[in-house]
Amino acid sequence: MSYMSGLGLGGTLFPGVLWAQAQERQAITSELLVDAAAVAGLEFTQEEREGMLRGLNQNLGAFRAIREQGIPNEIPPALQFDPVLPGAQLPTQQKPFRMSRRPEVERPANLEEVAFWPVSVLSELVRTRQVTSTELTTMYLDRLKRHGPTLESVITVTEKLALRQAARADREIATGTYRGPLHGIPWGGKDLLAVKGYRTTWGAKPYEDQVIDEDATVVRRLEEAGAVLIAKLTLGALAQGDWWYGGRTRNPWNLEQGSSGSSAGSASSTVAGLVGFSIGTETLGSIVSPATRCGATGLRPTFGRVSRYGAMALSWSMDKIGPICRAVEDCALVFDAIHGADGKDPTARTLPFNWDAEAPLSDLHIGYLKSAFESERATDADKAALEVIRSLGIDPIPVELPDEFPLGAMRIILSAEAAAAFDELTLSGRDDMLTRQGRGTWPHTFRTARMTPAVEYIQANRLRTMVMGATEAALDGIDVFITPSFAQSVLLLTNLTGHPTVVLPSGFTEEGTPVSISFVGKLWGDAEMLRVARAFQEATDHHLKRPPLFS
């Protein structure tokens, strides 16, 4: 084991010593319980401790028995998070899917010009047979091989699979079978999605050679939509940051910067024109943060809208899967293909996704996080984004989020679930193989979380229910609101409540790197949220800019 050892402040023993002593003695004693209680912030009398010993030692046996069973990462707990509060009414009416008006496109002399085109335009090249999927796939494969090493954004190029899928798409389209706007479009997936026949490394050295013999639901659904998987992209080790076992994924706008994470390779590769679109995941900022750093457009859907089957589990009550693209409508196109229940992820629901790209916004109640835009931390780009919304004829309604809860304290939910997901890694000592070992990294978080009392984890989740109720009340009648992406505790709060967010570029710093703005929707209101974000994006040109090193 790699636990720290030694005395803490005031002579309290660190968790590593407590564990070692319990293992050495094969029993918990009253003296050991004094220090163990201090770790949990508790104090018991001598008589109370004596009364606890029998049960605690029985628990030790239970813990050992559970560990001996060996629980794979993909097994969820019997308890599951549901963002739906009692009395909530879920949408039921499915309406026709309406894209924006098809653009008139013409194949450029140099096909590589289309590397930065959005899916909605690329798909027209393919649908009208001006470009074959094989041509498009070959072009993107070449860019992956040329630029992937520079960005350190690619783990595996799935060339054989991609060319096979592209050839099938070409045969189908040539015979009049067109599956829709993703048909023949090359994409890349965060390498925590299982793909049969290929490594799924989770970005971490202990799993570098891991092969999971099945396809994740998202991978299967994109294949059914005709999309072409060309690469498995980097993620920070076990979905933290942008450092993985092979290096650090780079920001296409500034190679001295990391791309942020943990969907590091997905954001970086999309913005650099190495894939048509990508898939990322978010537990606490892992789509919003790299999309901001790299200048991508990323969708974190409502919790439970996309099955996580076949994806690495980090936090069963917070993990979400979503697209990272070059335009808002691309996110809608991809989401339409991947959302819905699959009978494998118990949290996944099938609910209507009513995308109508050109529907007026007049039927929506649109708000703005007033205190965030009035804060000293609000940037000129933030304020300009709000003015863009007003220029669309919208008079946004001021809203505020509940601020009476200790949201930071509730991060123990994520830490405890992540520690459980990787308990075997910690107990085996293989956590020492992870690239990052400093303060705040997963190895230390997992070890620390082992000392979280079960009661406190349950209490944090009860508090979470209160936060959900207070948030629902604060946003009553609001369909979507605009906010600086990292204002106040909006990112943590909405990941705890399950609300959807779409993040998109809103400008650039003096150093030439992107900044972002976010739109937060009501639960299950992903389509309405995307409509407002698309209107904003159509009124700006930030998403059209290309990183010079990769143009």
Which range has the worst mean pLDDT, 66-75, 178-187, 413-422, 534-543? 66-75
pLDDT computed for residue 7 by the predictor = 34
Do 288 and 485 meet the contact criterion of CB atoms below 8 Å apart?
Answer: yes
Do 479 and 499 meet the contact criterion of CB atoms below 8 Å apart?
Answer: no
Whether residue 384 is predicted with pLDDT greater than 60 in this model: the reply is yes
Classified by CATH at the fold level, domain 117-403+464-550 comes out as Amidase signature (AS) enzymes (3.90.1300)
Model confidence, pTM: 0.93
pLDDT computed for residue 1 by the predictor = 27
Tokens of 47: 């008589």
Q: 251 falls in which pLDDT band (50, 70, 90)?
A: very high
Q: What letter represents residue 394's amino acid?
A: I
pLDDT computed for residue 57 by the predictor = 87
pLDDT computed for residue 24 by the predictor = 52
Whether residue 331 is predicted with pLDDT greater than 80 in this model: the reply is yes
pLDDT digits (tens, 9 = 90+) for 105-115: 999 999 999 99
- What is the C-alpha separation between 269 and 110, in angstroms, rounded? 20
- What is the C-alpha separation between 276 and 467, in angstroms, rounded? 38
- What is the C-alpha separation between 430 and 434, in angstroms, rounded? 8
CA torsion 471→475→479→482, rounded to 10°? Answer: -90
Greater model confidence, 233 or 61? 233
Greater model confidence, 495 or 57? 495
**Those residues with Cβ within 8 angstroms of residue 247's Cβ, 6 or more apart along the chain or in another chain:** 152
- What is the C-alpha separation between 31 and 17, in angstroms, rounded? 13
Q: Which residues are catalytic?
A: 190, 262, 286
pLDDT digits (tens, 9 = 90+) for 85-99: 999 999 999 999 999
Q: 438 falls in which pLDDT band (50, 70, 90)?
A: confident
Angle (CA) 530-487-419 rounded to 5° is 90
pLDDT computed for residue 120 by the predictor = 96
Q: 5 falls in which pLDDT band (50, 70, 90)?
A: very low
Radius of gyration of the chain (CA): 24
**Those residues with Cβ within 8 angstroms of residue 320's Cβ, 6 or more apart along the chain or in another chain:** 281, 282, 283, 287, 300, 301, 303, 305, 306, 308
- Per residue in 62-79, is it b (16+ CB within 10 Å) or e — as a string? eeeeeeeeeeebbebeee
> Which of 495, 258, 496, 471 is closest to 367 using CA atoms?
471
- What is the C-alpha separation between 153 and 274, in angstroms, rounded? 10
- What is the C-alpha separation between 339 and 531, in angstroms, rounded? 17
Give residue 11's region: left, alpha or beta (phi > 0; psi -120 to 50).
Answer: left
- What is the C-alpha separation between 419 and 446, in angstroms, rounded? 4
Q: 55 falls in which pLDDT band (50, 70, 90)?
A: confident
Do 190 and 280 meet the contact criterion of CB atoms below 8 Å apart?
Answer: yes
Do 490 and 475 meet the contact criterion of CB atoms below 8 Å apart?
Answer: no
Which range has the worst mean pLDDT, 28-37, 128-137, 140-149, 361-370? 28-37
Q: Which helix (H) or strand (E) holds 463?
A: helix 454-474
- CA 273 to each of CA 243, 350, 437: distance values in angstroms, whole numbers, following the listed order: 21, 32, 33
pLDDT computed for residue 201 by the predictor = 98
Whether residue 314 is predicted with pLDDT greater than 50 in this model: the reply is yes
Q: 67 falls in which pLDDT band (50, 70, 90)?
A: confident
Whether residue 39 is predicted with pLDDT greater than 50 in this model: the reply is yes
What are the domain boundaries of the chain? 1-69, 117-403+464-550
